[in-house]
Amino acid sequence: MLRLAVLVSGNGSNMLAILDAYKKELLNNLVPVLCVADRPCKALERAAGWGLETVLLEGKHNGEKLTDALDRQLSERRIDIVALAGWLSIISGKLTRKWTGRMVNIHPSLLPEYGGKGMYGEYVHKAVLDAGKKQSGCTVHFVTDSIDGGKILGQSRVKVLKNDTAESLAARILIEEHRLYPKILADLAVDIRVHHR
């Protein structure tokens, strides 16, 4: 078995999709064991409600301190794979390097477009609409010290509709996120197991 930690800051719908996939035995040998939040949030309550161990790293929002606290949590719990699911803090390069190939994120655009610093939440969807794009979507990628810049593991596409608002587009993309993220994690769990043999 491989142990999964989910990192959250917000609503937690992707985390729930991952937990649901686990219950349905769709995550292969990957078992969610920990939810870490960098602020009090709905996702943390949802994780606790589900029965997952939760940790709140509140008050440590500056890069290095947060990274050190996170590092301790992940090693104490012998985590194998880390999934950022709406996590908003920057994790410093020291930790992303330690987790090369084992830390992943989901982003609500077709990276490399509309990623990077400041590109999160509605800013992403507004930028897509302002640019008159015909398509958007979501991307699961490895986390590196370049924000949203790590190797792409999978994408889902969504058509941008004529009357879309940032909100309506975000909602349609989120449905795809919930399909894509568990699938990529399940694949990664197999890859990592094979790799470590």
Looking at the annotation, which residues are catalytic?
107
Q: Is 182 in the site for ligand GRF (CB under 6 A)?
A: no
DSSP 151: P
Q: Of the candidates 33, 174, 175, 192, which one interacts with ligand GRF according to CB under 6 A?
A: 174
**Piece of 10-18, 31-39, 75-83, 153-161 that binds ligand GRF (CB under 6 A):** 10-18
- When binding is defined by CB under 6 A, the residue of 7, 82, 86, 104 that contacts ligand GRF is 86
Q: How far is the CB of 170 from ligand GRF (least distance, A)?
A: 7
> What minimum distance in Å lies between the beta carbon of 28 and ligand GRF?
21
Stretch near ligand GRF under the rule CB under 6 A, chosen from 91-99, 103-111, 126-134, 154-162: 103-111
Among residues 27, 38, 99, 108, which is the contact residue for ligand GRF, using CB under 6 A? 108
51-70 positions binding ligand GRF, by CB under 6 A:
none
**Could you identify the residue written with the tokens 């410093």?**
92
- Rounded to whole angstroms, the Cα distance separating 2 from 34 reads 12
Buried (b) or exposed (e) across 127-146, using 16+ Cβ within 10 A?
Answer: bbbeeebeebbbbbbbbbee
Total of chain residues touching ligand GRF, rule CB under 6 A: 15
Buried b (16+ CB within 10 A) or exposed e, 115-124: beeebbeeeb
Binding mask of the shown chain, residues 111 to 150, with x at each position contacting ligand GRF by CB under 6 A: ---------------------------x------------
**Could you tell me which residues come within 8 angstroms of residue 108 by beta carbon, excluding any fewer than 6 positions away?**
121, 124, 125, 136, 138, 170, 173, 174, 177
Is residue 14 near ligand GRF by the rule CB under 6 A?
yes
- Among residues 57, 81, 85, 185, the one that binds ligand GRF under rule CB under 6 A: 85
Cis ω before 112 (30° cut-off from 0):
yes
Structure tokens of 120?
A: 């999160």
- Residue 94 Cβ, how far from ligand GRF at the closest point, in Å? 22
**How would you class 76 by CB atoms within 10 Å of its CB: exposed for 0-12, middle for 13-18, buried for 19 or more?**
exposed
Sites of contact with ligand GRF (CB under 6 A): 10-15, 43, 85-86, 106-108, 138, 174, 177
